[in-house]
């Protein structure tokens, strides 16, 4: 799959314990993005953060959180990201979604196994 140089970065901030139906929300988002043939998705588990409630979530021992911040990032064309947004909105109960223009330098897959 080739990506044009001008693409969009969709960034989704949510909590590790957020759910969609009976599965982790971040997992449901990645599976839906794959189903809709977006170019790829990455889940990043964070060690510290806070959101709208200002409640601190951290991995520090004295404040061990069972709901660490998670970021899902997806880069694709404007058309494909825009088609995904209504689906994403229907899946989320809480969280933050940002969108920004990015310049894709290259998009390469792993070489075939010999």
In a domain, 80, yes or no: yes
Strands (E), the chain: 6-15, 19-20, 23-24, 41-45, 48-49, 57-58, 69-76, 96-103
In a domain, 111, yes or no: no
Give Cβ neighbours of residue 36 (< 8 Å, ≥ 6 apart): 80, 83, 84, 87
Q: Give me the mean pLDDT over the 38-45 stretch.
A: 95
In a domain, 113, yes or no: no
- What percent helix, strand, coil does the chain show, rounded to 5? 25, 35, 40
In a domain, 114, yes or no: no
In a domain, 109, yes or no: no
pLDDT at 25: 97
9 DSSP β-pair partners: 75, 100
Return mean pLDDT, the chain: 87
Question: For residue 47, what pLDDT band results from cuts at 50, 70 and 90?
Answer: confident
Domain that includes residue 97, residue range: 6-103
Give the percent of the chain with pLDDT over 90: 61
Number of domains in the chain: 1
**In the chain, count of helices (H) and strands (E)?**
2, 8
pLDDT at 1: 66
Q: Give me the mean pLDDT over the 65-78 stretch.
A: 89
pLDDT at 113: 75
Phi (first) and psi of residue 33, to 5 degrees: -60, -40
**CATH number assigned to the domain comprising residue 58:** 3.30.70.120
Helix (H) or strand (E) holding 54: none
In a domain, 96, yes or no: yes
More confident residue, 89 or 1: 89
């Amino acid at each position: 799959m080739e990506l044009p140089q001008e693409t969009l970065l969709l960034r989704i901030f949510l909590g590790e314990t957020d759910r969609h139906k009976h599965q982790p929300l971040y997992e449901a988002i990645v599976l839906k993005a794959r189903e809709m043939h977006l170019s790829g998705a990455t889940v990043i588990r964070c060690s510290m953060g806070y959101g709208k409630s200002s409640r601190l979530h951290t991995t520090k021992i004295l404040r061990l959180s069972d709901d660490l911040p998670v970021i899902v990032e997806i880069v694709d064309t404007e058309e494909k990201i825009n088609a995904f947004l209504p689906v994403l909105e229907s899946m989320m109960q809480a969280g933050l979604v940002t969108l920004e223009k990015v310049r894709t330098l290259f998009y390469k897959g792993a070489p075939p196994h010999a």
